[in-house]
Structure 1
Amino acid sequence: MTSTATTTAVESSPTWGVRDRILAAAMELFYTDGINATGVDLVAARAGVSKRTLYKYFPSKVNLVEQYLTRMFEFVVEHQKVQTGTARQRLSALFAVPQAGGGQMRGCPFHNAAVEAAAVMPEVAEFVHRQKEAFAASIVAICRDLGVEDPDLLGGRIALIYEGAAALSTSLDAVEPWARAGALVEMLLDME
């Protein structure tokens, strides 16, 4: 999910309404430029609406951020649902190495939001906390499908490796942490 930040209107489907355009603009800008660095003026300009119209659909920036994160979480859930194969293949798919040169590595939108919102948007921090717990629980559930002796322990380790790969790839702006993390998970799975 990489893009260049400009103030041109967001390309949209003819079936998209104003709310969808605003949310699409926010998703792109919050992810690529950051929540704190992106003002509602820029989101409105990118969506091709007035600031007043933005506030009609999203009464506050906090509400807009929460809706952005809700949509991102829906994408994660949908991605997990379409993953097919064995439990091991689904775990391995979590560590697919992104293509190099696809733009700056921005990492996990939830982690980014937690860091940015820590002091100024406690509602967002709470939302991120719930999402991270749900993500870790989904990994534990896949480990249960594997039939391992302690799915909570293995799932917790894999979630930790995933979070570390996301953070390090962002910090280094590199794809190699994903490859290393995937190899480590394969080694853990081989030990089960």
Structure 2
Amino acid sequence: METATTPRRAGRGGRERILAAAARLFATQGIGATGMEQVAEEAPVSKRTLYAHFRTKNDLVMAHLHDLISSGDTLESVLTREDLPPRERILRLFDLPSPDAAPVRGCPFIDAAAEFPDPASAVHSYAREQKLRMVRLITTLLTELGCRDPAALAEQLATLADGAASRAMVLDEAGYGRHARAAAQLLLAHSLPE
């Protein structure tokens, strides 16, 4: 029973709490292993509130991925930083989370695509869009740097970045990106004008 001195819980912020809870759970146990009831508990919100914001789990996953992009909390977000020169933006793709971030997580878009393997699904399609966007951003930066074949090199660098993120996650080794960064430096030195 609520009295005059009992603090009322604000009715706002449910969506944000749900997305924050989903992000934590998806990162620690994966999308497939996370149930909607668990997200509601973690948020904490009622199931009614959860389903008022997200009718299905697919809707929640899509909102989570959109939220990652808008928050800038992705590997690719470094590519749009105006405070860094183009070459440095590219090399920062290989700087994985700090060693105190445990466990090391890979790319959330690769994770989502793996958990939604049907290429026609909305989640898989969105993950693909983000991976193609990453290559376009790298291509633009390489063009600015005067690269001889920016599209081919962009694919190679994106492959290195995704591979490093995946291996870092599998090995739970935050510093793993250093190997891909060294390879990227060689590719850049070979492909860019002096």
Q: TM-score, normalised by structure 2?
A: 0.84
Q: Could you say which residue in structure 1 is the equivalent of 2:190?
A: 191
Quickly say closer, same or farther: Cα 1:44–1:161, change in 2 above 3 A.
same
Q: Could you say which residue in structure 1 is the equivalent of 2:3?
A: none
State percent identity of aligned pairs: 35
Per-residue deviation at 1:79? 4.3
Question: Aligned equivalents of 2:168 and 2:117: distance in 1?
Answer: 22
Task: Give a deviation string over 1:73-125, Cα, whole Å, max 9, x none.
Answer: 22236544335222111111111243224201120011111111115992211
2:178 corresponds to 1:179: yes
Structure 2 gaps of 5+ residues are 1-9
Whichever residue aligns with residue 159 of structure 1, its letter is A
Task: Please point out which of 22, 27, 34 is paired with 1:31.
Answer: 27
Question: Aligned equivalents of 1:58 and 1:148: distance in 2?
Answer: 44
Question: Aligned equivalents of 2:42 and 2:62: distance in 1?
Answer: 19
Q: Could you say which residue in structure 2 is the equivalent of 1:8?
A: none
Q: How many residues align?
A: 179
Q: Could you say which residue in structure 1 is the equivalent of 2:160?
A: 161
2:69 corresponds to 1:73: yes
Per-residue deviation at 1:150? 0.8
Task: Give a deviation string over 1:22-61, Cα, whole Å, max 9, x none.
Answer: 1111111112211111001111111111111100011111
Paired residues of 1:95 and 1:178 also in contact (CA < 8 A): yes
Task: Please point out which of 14, 30, 33 is paired with 1:18.
Answer: 14
Q: Secondary structure at the match of 2:101?
A: coil
Paired residues of 1:27 and 1:68 also in contact (CA < 8 A): yes
Question: Aligned equivalents of 1:137 and 1:156: distance in 2?
Answer: 9
Question: Aligned equivalents of 2:15 and 2:88: distance in 1?
Answer: 37
Name which of structure 1's ranges 81-90 and 44-53 shifts more when overlaid on structure 2. 81-90
Whichever residue aligns with residue 44 of structure 1, its letter is A
Question: Aligned equivalents of 2:124 and 2:97: distance in 1?
Answer: 27
Q: Secondary structure at the match of 1:94?
A: helix
Task: Please point out which of 37, 43, 47 is paired with 1:47.
Answer: 43
* 1:48-127 pair list within 5 angstroms: 48-74=44-70, 75=72, 76=74, 79-119=78-118, 122-127=121-126
Paired residues of 1:62 and 1:121 also in contact (CA < 8 A): no
Per-residue deviation at 1:130? 1.1
Question: Aligned equivalents of 2:112 and 2:88: distance in 1?
Answer: 29
Q: Secondary structure at the match of 2:106?
A: coil
Structure 1 gaps of 5+ residues are 1-13
Paired residues of 1:162 and 1:181 also in contact (CA < 8 A): yes
- What RMSD over aligned residues (CA atoms) do the two structures have, in Å? 2.2
